[in-house]
Structure 1
Amino acid sequence: MTQVTRSADCANSPKNARAEDIALAIMGEGRLDPALLAENAVWERPGGALTGPDAISTALAGLAPSQQIAVTQVMTHGKSGSVLGTRMDQDGAKHLFCHVIKFSSAAAKQVAQIVSFEHRGKG
């Protein structure tokens, strides 16, 4: 089981909590409800871009779990959000990550785009 440290930024912000849940799900921790993804949602990630809920869900199903994930900052404003932190693979390699989430509207009911950045550090 992945050890997850969540951000304090989400305590009083449902939109921040939603962004954090999405970021954790695209790192293999938790489930991303396909209904949360807009019909033409795009996930741009280091392995290549994916379009549509089916393609994104298929990619998520094949993710390997992490040893640890620490979310250090979550920010949302209007239709956008970002989730930053570190994660450790099962092999002990550490990664810095940033997931930028664009919602279809400021209500944050559906995701239009996710752009994921990851930098493998020394581990």
Structure 2
Amino acid sequence: MTEIHGSGDCGNSPKNRFVQDVAIALETGQAMAEGFSDDAVWEGVADAPIKGRSAIAKALAAKTKPAAVAIEHAISHGKVGAASGVVTFANGQKRRFSHILEFTNTKANCVAVIKSYS
């Protein structure tokens, strides 16, 4: 089971909480298909963008499960959100990450585009 350390940015903001939840899903591989649009695109994790909700779910399922994920920041504004943090693997190796999210609407409850950086 992956140990999760959430950000203090979420507080009373459901939008920030959703950004954090998406980042956790992206890093742990725990698919949350309902959070992605049918034609969502994930850039930066493969040679070519991963296109479509089912393709993203398949890529997530293939990820190595980390020992821990620490979300440092999870923020949103309008149709954009961002999360950053650190993943720790079972061997102790750490990797920093950042995900920029574009939503389908200003409710920020459905992801259209993900741009990931490691």
TM-score, normalised to structure 1, is 0.88
> Which residue of structure 1 lines up, in the alignment, with residue 102 of structure 2?
102
8 Å contact from structure 1 (residues 72, 85) kept in 2: yes
Identity of aligned residues (%): 33
Structure 2 residue runs of 5 or longer lacking an equivalent are none
2:81 maps to 81
The answer for unaligned runs of 5 or more in structure 1 is 119-123
Instruction: Tell me the distance in 1 between the aligned counterparts of 2:115 and 2:77.
Output: 16
Report the Cα distance in structure 2 between the residues aligned to 1:20 and 1:27, rounded to whole angstroms.
11
Kindly report which structure 2 residues correspond to 1:1-123, keeping only aligned pairs within 5 A, or say none.
1-28=1-28, 30-32=30-32, 34-48=33-47, 49-118=49-118
Pairwise CA RMSD of aligned residues? 1.3
TM-score, normalised by the number of residues in structure 2: 0.92
How many angstroms apart in 2 are the aligned matches of 1:117 and 1:47? 11
Report how many residues are paired: 117
Letter in 2 for 1:8: G
Q: Give the Cα–Cα distance (whole angstroms) in 2 for the partners of residues 113 and 94 of structure 1.
A: 25
Q: By how many angstroms is 1:29 displaced?
A: 5.6
Return the structure number with greater relative CO, CA threshold 8 A, min gap 6.
2
